[in-house]
Amino acid sequence: MPELPTVRYASLTDVGMRRATNQDSLAIRLSSDFDSWANQGHLFVVADGMGGHAVGDLASRIVSDSLPLAWSKSSLEEPAERLQEAVHAANRAINDRALQNPEFRGMGTTCSVLNLSSRGAFIGHVGDSRVYRLRHGLLQQLTFDHSLQWEMIRLGRSTAENVENEHPRNVITRCLGPDLRVNVDIEGPFSVHPGDIFLLCSDGLTNHVSDAEIGRTLRELPVTESCRFLINLANCRGGLDNSTAIVVQIEQYPDVAGTLSDSAFVSPLPPAPAQTAPQQQANRPLTVVGVLLTIIAAAACFLTGWMLMGVIVLGTGLLFLRPWRRSPKPEVTQPPLPVAVAEVSQESRPHIESCSQLRSSFLPQSPYRSTESFSPEYLQTLVADVLRELLRNAETSGWKTETQIREIQSSNTNEKGSNSEQLLRKVRSVNAVMRDFYAAVRGTGGSGI
């Protein structure tokens, strides 16, 4: 009997450093046997609520409770249709609850859900939470942010370089809850290969941590440590919002074919050949006649001295040439849209670092952005920066863990083992220090961190 795919995952949600309550929610539903997985698959959900302390928390919890239930009860066989139905069911549940209590009016939440099954990977998405996939060192954002900034870039009204200065970051253009109907982005199917790592996260994480840092963290660390470190990094940089992350690593998976959604970059079509206007084509014989008559006129004047005859023939030639008439303007056609190309090997892939800068535009379909995630030294430097930041906080607040941080820093050059082993020890030390930091600041054991 076929076996279930081997999947490792870790999940974590944290209130952050500035909020009193956590309005993020997550849900994980795993199939227990192969038949269940083949029909329904594994489900991972992240929701980021909005609309006040209790209201935002309620909206996101309704999603994490109702969406997996609607998914499991659906009779639809196609994953895309099933996923869309489940997201719509969660939206109705939020909307119905809001109608029952005037204080809940307008509550909403983002929703990003990943389904892994025998059909491949499908994504349902509303809002600005994100789903990434890391494959062979390439981090791809598989979802489009339904935010004001991304919409302005997509419409050509801003550029990736200037959008931060022109439009606020946390304004979303689509969410679940406020309206009875909502447009749901369904992405996929994507192929799933052993070694792939998926990340679902709320914007509390991505507002503080770049794609390059996410990619290198996922690439170098086990799922549990990477999940903790990403949220600790966001909190170390201010933690202005709640942060949630689900990291899913594929260890063994049956062969699944993707579609054009499984593109890694886009290759523009070659420019269309210039079209000759029909009127210009019709004028070509007349132009030839005009040139011949002009040559005859010049020869007649030179050889015979018949000036009058030369002038008559020359005038006739000029009439055919019609130099004073402007040819009609050729039609202006829009350049062809870029088309998705099939995924290629990492070795033959062109350099894609510029894609992480968006070059003032998004790719036309998922994945919308790609960032190369090599150079493990980058993560070593990042861990050192986190330790320096923690040390600064310890010195300014009289935090008793200052000695422990200095011991970790001094051991950086004295540790033995491979670079990967040293890095893992340092990250685990940072995560341990952050637990003590949360306990000191919040007066708790770290709220799950």
pLDDT of residue 278: 45
Which parts of the chain register pLDDT below 70? 1-2, 52-53, 256-364, 376, 393-417, 444-449
pLDDT of residue 67: 97
pLDDT of residue 399: 63
pLDDT of residue 83: 95
**Fold of the 6-265+350-374 domain:** Phosphatase 2c; domain 1 (3.60.40)
Domain borders along the chain are 6-265+350-374, 278-321
Q: What pTM did the predictor assign?
A: 0.76
pLDDT of residue 345: 36
| Bond from prior residue into 367 cis (ω within 30 degrees of 0) | yes
Give the separation between CA 228 and CA 210, rounded to whole angstroms: 16
pLDDT of residue 416: 64
pLDDT of residue 358: 40
